[in-house]
Amino acid sequence: MNVQTPVEQLKPADYASDQEVRWCPGCGDYAIVKSVQRTMADLKLAPEDLVFISGIGCAARFPYYMATYGFHTIHGRAPAIATGTKLANPELDIWVVMGDGDCLSIGGNHTLHAIRRNVDIQMLLFNNEIYGLTKGQYSPTSRLGTRSPSTPQGSVDAPVNATVFALGAGARFVARSVDTNQKHLPEILKRAHAHRGASFVEIIQNCIVYNDGAFSGWTDKAAAADSQIQVEHGKKLIFGKDGDRGLRLDRNSLSLEVVTVGDNGVAEDDILVHDETNRVLANLLGAMEHPEYPVAIGVLYCDPAETYDSAVHRQIAESVEKTPPTDLNAMLRRGRTWTVAPS
Amino acid sequence: MATKLAESRPDGELQRKSVDAVVIRFAGDSGDGMQLTGTQFTQSTALMGNDLATFPDFPAEIRAPVGTTYGVSAFQINFASYDIMTPGDAPDVLVAMNPAALKVHLRDVPKGGTIVLNTDAFTDRNIAKAGFGANPLEDGTLDNYVTIEIDIQKMTLAAVADIGVTNKEAVRCKNMWALGLMCWMYDRDRQPTVDWINQRFGERAPAIAKANVAALNAGHAYGETAELPSGIPAYIVPKADVQPGVYRAVTGTEAIAWGLVTGARKAGLELFFGSYPITPASALLHTLSNLKQYGVTTFQAEDEIAAVCSAIGASFAGSIGVTSSSGPGVALKTEGITLAFAAELPLVVVNSQRGGPSTGLPTKTEQSDLYQAVYGRNADSPLPVVASCTAGDCFFAAIEAVRIAVTYMTPVILLTDGYLANAAEPWEIPDVDGIPEFKVDFATASDDFHPFLRDGKTLARNWPVPGTPGLMHRIGGIEKSYDTGHISYDPENHHRMTKVRAAKVDGIADDIPLQEVASGPSKGRLAVVGWGSTFGAINQAVERSLAGGLDVAHIHIRHIWPLPRNLGDLLAGYEKILVPEMNNGQLITVLRDRFLVPAEGLNQISGLPFKVSDLEAAIRERMEGQP
């Protein structure tokens, strides 16, 4: 028998498998795996109850680096596999890891339906706005005009905004964080884990080889204060080096505007307070893009509802209650039967 | 009851003519309720103790424009006082509810056959819509047939006049009127249908229930009292001499559902069924959705890919994952199936075959996915393939598929088809307790544990289930090391793993029954070799040929892959081999490839089952010159 370390004593490193990590040096995925392992240790999660399920892509190698259960499946299908795993054993703590191509291109349909069903899983999107494993083609989140081996003149199709997509799919939990933000990301992962239902987390991730610096305009330390807004439920939507900039609702256009308290008669009371149960506000926050707006990080939306897996098992329990399971011989004799007597 | 009613005729002189076998075909508009009429007649017939076989034949359109030939829906039942295996080659009686039904089905009725016609529907407009140049009731088209012309609609409306249903609801009862007449003509008990009507409508719509029962009774009473044309006797079909036991009517779909549930129970596992609606496979999803209290979870996925993937995810978690579709849907599942093959997880893929390629003939039957099942995957990915051959056999084939999947940690393809899925037959209910168990032992923690540790005999990897302390592991589609279960790009390892996966599947041949001969001698002049739903037609044709003194045998293959160990030697014992298939020749390719036998194909790709008479003729043809 393997000697089991009690869960209370597990450290982040105990959640790391013995496999050599094969991401490119400097890849944002290293920071994410570190955050995830730290989250597991902070929450004292039993490794045998944890399952990491992924599709295909750089991000999808994730399960191999976790000393938990893991299933590295096929491109785009991780949410569908995870749905089956969760329904078969609702006790399992399932984390789905996807890249942007995996989650929003080939697997867009499964992402949509896992979210809309509200399967109780954590869905982590590592969004680097590029295809890494296939060597640098543009992705469904690449910005218009992205030059890549398949778009030498620049991409001409509009990107999808992951958080707005998730909200449109009916998500009950949507959050965003940044790979290198080692303070913020574990806290967001804890919130995602605490949420019952499909928790969709977009993690902005830098691909050092094919899309280096794609987000540096707002993720670099120097730029962050003025170009990010950390949203927290019940707190004013304020950001900026001096903490004097904020978001105000323009009631005529039903859009957000960036204002500075004190300028043009803007009072502190004009600044919106974040309400994470407000789906409309979440949409407005998720849609904000740099440089016109600060990019919102944090829990944009959280409003739990019954999960799919619990509803499915509730119906199964109801069926058992209504028609207690008899032995299979009785099942085969339900309905009309007739007996042929020996002649 | 029917006999008593017959005796109550005023003249008291009804003499029922005893016949051994009858084939009735109900045909009408797809909104006329012909499938329901046929199903109810089947229930009554089964309860009367006849052997029977049915063939529902319906259009892909749910409600094609009324009165058109492409909207015609039909249900054929063959019932007899002896053992029968097919729904019958040609109808003795055709019930045609409108001109289009007559137009489509008249060609199948032999001269002298009986045709019951709903004359109300023979309006000029309907006659033209069906493509008749003139009224077939008047222009001599039906001269060679015995016709019973009745204003069924008018009679139905009269029968339900006082019940307080709308005209539309009243008209819809006319199928019950026709059923009532047939019940009288063939001495069937109406009570099962009355019970069914009351169960279906009784609480929800008592007036509709009452109207349907009234129509049923009116049709029956018409038979008793009306002056039917001479030469239309009432019939009696004596009970078949069948094995004593408890019986029920069963369709292939129901049998597969019960077989999967039973297989899961025998394995000691929960059943997870992930599926996406597709004709003719959807009924399996419906059936299993009503069996949740037996350890069944059903999941209607967003697409075929998610359906198979959810089943794989469930197997990963320790359930037996099952997915189901028809050919086009199975094509979509292919990548998922190879994932399960590579990750060596159990999975059952049920394919209810239909006419193809592409959308093809969704509601018609075909056996054209054998290549797909045996060969249709990328890479070296051999899979066990099991084919069911009758509606009742679907039960045992499904158990066998689950057994192989969990014993060998592999996906299994279970082939059935649209004909088996919908056709009903009486089924002697087996004693489930007598079916051997094959309980699964999940992996337990050990010092040398890794996820690809193999059983020395079956070569199956162990099955460690998430949630078990000490067995945390990672599996996936990337090649794994034979020795550690970790990712491996080592060239020799890939060679070795490919070989061991193939050897594992090949080895299943040692764990399945040797091929038996279904009928006839085990060597001789001609072997007719079939698979799947052609069993009944081939067997009956071979039995008749044997009775006629021909040296012919019937071999029916259940394990399409791997093939039984003795099959090559068995086939070598015949001078000729004839392979009838409802495809353009697929099993025959496998047989020629594996055994280099000079097999000859007999291929029918019409979307319809073989006729016994056609197979008999084909056998006779190959026997010419036999002493």
For residue A10, the number of C-alpha atoms closer than 13 Å in the C-beta half-sphere is: 24
Phi/psi of residue B51, nearest 5 degrees: -80, 150
State residue B471's pLDDT score.
Answer: 97
Enter the DSSP assignment of B237: -
In the numeric block, the tokens 């955050």 are attached to: A35
B274-308 pLDDT, tens digit per residue, is 999 999 999 999 999 999 999 999 999 999 999 99
B312: helix, strand or coil = helix
Rounded-to-integer distance, Cα A15 and Cα A34, Å: 10
Nearest chain A residue to B451 by CA distance is: A69
Q: Which of A2, A57, A96 is nearest to B464 (CA)?
A: A2
B416: helix, strand or coil = strand
Q: Is the pLDDT of residue B9 over 50?
A: no
Residue type, B301: A
Mean pLDDT of chain B: 93
Chosen for mutation from A40, A48, A53 (greatest number of chain B CBs closer than 10 Å) is A48
pTM higher than the cut 0.90 = yes
Rounded-to-integer distance, Cα B94 and Cα B105, Å: 8
> Which residues in chain A (18-57) have CB-CB distances under 8 A to chain B?
19, 46-49, 51, 53, 56
State residue B230's pLDDT score.
Answer: 58
State residue B1's pLDDT score.
Answer: 25
Q: Is the pLDDT of residue B7 over 90?
A: no
Q: What residues form DSSP beta bridges with A50?
A: A93
Rounded-to-integer distance, Cα B596 and Cα A138, Å: 52
Which positions in chain B touch A71 (Cβ < 8 Å)? Answer: 313, 316, 343, 474-476
**Looking at the partner chain, which of A92, A320, A329 has a beta carbon nearest the beta carbon of B433?**
A329
State residue B152's pLDDT score.
Answer: 95
Tell if the CB–CB gap between A69 and B473 is shorter than 8 Å: yes
Is any Cβ of chain A less than 8 angstroms from the Cβ of B223?
no
Residue type, B455: D
> Number of residue pairs across A and B with CB atoms under 8 Å?
215
> How wide is the angle at C-alpha A216 spanned by C-alphas A213 and A217, nearest 5°?
125
**Looking at the partner chain, which of A48, A112, A343 has a beta carbon nearest the beta carbon of B467?**
A48
Res. B6 pLDDT band, cuts 50 70 90? very low
B67: helix, strand or coil = coil
B156-200 pLDDT, tens digit per residue, is 999 999 999 999 999 999 999 999 999 999 999 999 999 999 998
**Looking at the partner chain, which of A71, A332, A336 has a beta carbon nearest the beta carbon of B192?**
A336
Nearest chain A residue to B48 by CA distance is: A338
Rounded-to-integer distance, Cα B377 and Cα B397, Å: 23
Q: Specify whether the CB–CB gap between B485 and B496 falls below 8 A.
A: no
Res. B568 pLDDT band, cuts 50 70 90? very high
Q: What is the number of other CB atoms lying within 10 angstroms of the CB of residue B578? A: 22
Tell me what ipTM this predicted complex has: 0.97
A319: left (phi over 0), alpha (psi -120 to 50) or beta: alpha
Rounded-to-integer distance, Cα A250 and Cα A179, Å: 32
The CA dihedral of B348, B353, B358, B359, to the nearest 10 degrees, is: -110
Tell if the CB–CB gap between B472 and A67 is shorter than 8 Å: yes
Q: Specify whether the CB–CB gap between A74 and B339 falls below 8 A.
A: yes
Tell if the CB–CB gap between B313 and A53 is shorter than 8 Å: yes
First to last CA, chain A: 62
In the numeric block, the tokens 């009570």 are attached to: B191
Q: Which of A14, A15, A31, A36 is nearest to A193 (CA)?
A: A36
Nearest chain B residue to A72 by CA distance is: B476
B168: helix, strand or coil = helix
Could you write out the three-class secondary structure of chain A? CCCCCCHHHCCHHHHECCCCCCCCCCCHHHHHHHHHHHHHHHHCCCHHHEEEEECCCCHHHHHHHECCEEEECCCCCHHHHHHHHHHHCCCCEEEEEEEHHHHHHHCHHHHHHHHHHCCCCEEEEEECCECCCCCCCECCCCCCCCCECCECCCCCCCCCCHHHHHHHCCCCEEEEEECCCCCHHHHHHHHHHHCCCCEEEEEECCCCCCCCCCCHHHHCHHHHHHHEEEECCCCECEECCCCCEEEEEECCCCEEEEEECCHHHCCHHHCCECCCCCHHHHHHHHCCCCCCCCEEEEEEEECCCCCHHHHHHHHHHHHHHHCCCCCHHHHHCCCCCEEECCC
Rounded-to-integer distance, Cα A217 and Cα A224, Å: 8
Rounded-to-integer distance, Cα B358 and Cα B302, Å: 20
B520-553 pLDDT, tens digit per residue, is 999 999 999 999 999 999 999 999 999 999 999 9
State residue B242's pLDDT score.
Answer: 83
Which positions in chain B touch A320 (Cβ < 8 Å)? Answer: 292-293
Contacts 24+ apart (CB under 8 A), B617-620: B618/B578, B618/B580, B619/B526, B619/B528, B619/B541, B619/B542, B619/B545, B619/B550, B619/B552, B619/B578, B620/B545, B620/B550
Tell if the CB–CB gap between B477 and A73 is shorter than 8 Å: yes
Is any Cβ of chain A less than 8 angstroms from the Cβ of B260?
no
Rounded-to-integer distance, Cα B341 and Cα B318, Å: 16
Which positions in chain B touch A92 (Cβ < 8 Å)? Answer: 317, 466-467
Which positions in chain B touch A4 (Cβ < 8 Å)? Answer: 469-470
Could you give the C-alpha distances from A154 to A102, A139, A145, A187, in angstroms and in order?
21, 12, 4, 37
A295-302 and A173-178 beta bridge pairing = antiparallel
% of chain B with per-residue pLDDT over 90? 87
| Residues B18-41, mean pLDDT to the nearest whole number | 92
Q: Specify whether the CB–CB gap between B580 and B610 falls below 8 A.
A: yes
| Residues B395-417, mean pLDDT to the nearest whole number | 98
B427-479 pLDDT, tens digit per residue, is 999 999 999 999 999 999 899 999 999 999 999 999 999 999 999 999 999 99
The CA dihedral of B92, B94, B95, B97, to the nearest 10 degrees, is: 180
Could you write out the three-class secondary structure of B349-398? EEEEECECCCCCECCCCCCCCHHHHHHCCCCCCCCCEEECCCCCHHHHHH
B114-164 pLDDT, tens digit per residue, is 999 999 999 999 999 999 999 999 999 999 999 999 999 999 999 999 999
State residue B626's pLDDT score.
Answer: 63
B191-236 pLDDT, tens digit per residue, is 999 999 999 898 899 999 999 999 999 999 998 887 666 556 789 9
**Looking at the partner chain, which of A92, A324, A325 has a beta carbon nearest the beta carbon of B466?**
A92
State residue A145's pLDDT score.
Answer: 97
Q: Which of B234, B146, B253, B255 is nearest to B183 (CA)?
A: B234
Biggest distance spanned by C-alpha atoms of chain A: 103
Q: Which two tokens stand for residue B592?
A: 């020629």
- Residue B236 burial (CB < 10 Å; 0-12/13-18/19+)? middle
A194-237 pLDDT, tens digit per residue, is 999 999 999 999 999 999 999 999 999 999 999 999 999 999 99
State residue A1's pLDDT score.
Answer: 35
Q: Which of B576, B571, B575, B583 is nearest to B607 (CA)?
A: B583
Residue type, B619: I
B305-356 pLDDT, tens digit per residue, is 999 999 999 999 999 999 999 999 999 999 999 999 999 999 999 999 999 9
| Sheet bearing A245-250, strands edge to edge | A238-239, A245-250, A255-260
Q: Which two tokens stand for residue B515?
A: 């091929």
Q: Which of B407, B358, B361, B359 is nearest to B384 (CA)?
A: B407
Mean pLDDT of chain A: 96
Q: What is the number of other CB atoms lying within 10 angstroms of the CB of residue B437? A: 11
Rounded-to-integer distance, Cα B552 and Cα B574, Å: 9
Which positions in chain A touch B477 (Cβ < 8 Å)? Answer: 56, 72-74
B415-430 pLDDT, tens digit per residue, is 999 999 998 889 999 9
B481: left (phi over 0), alpha (psi -120 to 50) or beta: beta
Tell if the CB–CB gap between A88 and B319 is shorter than 8 Å: yes
Tell if the CB–CB gap between A109 and B303 is shorter than 8 Å: yes
**Which helix (H) or strand (E) covers residue B571, if one does?**
helix B567-572
Q: Specify whether the CB–CB gap between A135 and A189 falls below 8 A.
A: no
Which positions in chain B touch A81 (Cβ < 8 Å)? Answer: 309-310, 312-313, 316
State residue A3's pLDDT score.
Answer: 52
B245-251 and B424-428 beta bridge pairing = antiparallel
CA distance B579 to chain A (A): 35
CA distance A79 to chain B (A): 8
Residues of chain A with pLDDT under 50: 1-2
**Looking at the partner chain, which of B241, B306, B429 has a beta carbon nearest the beta carbon of A332?**
B429
Q: What residues form DSSP beta bridges with B626?
A: none
| Sheet bearing B114-118, strands edge to edge | B51-57, B72-80, B21-29, B93-96, B114-118, B146-150
Distance of CA A246 to the CA centre of its chain: 26
Is any Cβ of chain B less than 8 angstroms from the Cβ of A5?
no
Rg from Cα positions in chain B: 27
> Which residues in chain A (283-312) have CB-CB distances under 8 A to chain B?
312
Is any Cβ of chain A less than 8 angstroms from the Cβ of B319?
yes
More confident residue, B10 or B114: B114
State residue B5's pLDDT score.
Answer: 30
Rounded-to-integer distance, Cα B307 and Cα B272, Å: 10
State residue A335's pLDDT score.
Answer: 85
First to last CA, chain B: 53
Is any Cβ of chain B less than 8 angstroms from the Cβ of A125?
no
A46-82 pLDDT, tens digit per residue, is 999 999 999 999 999 999 999 999 999 999 999 999 9
Rounded-to-integer distance, Cα B411 and Cα B426, Å: 31
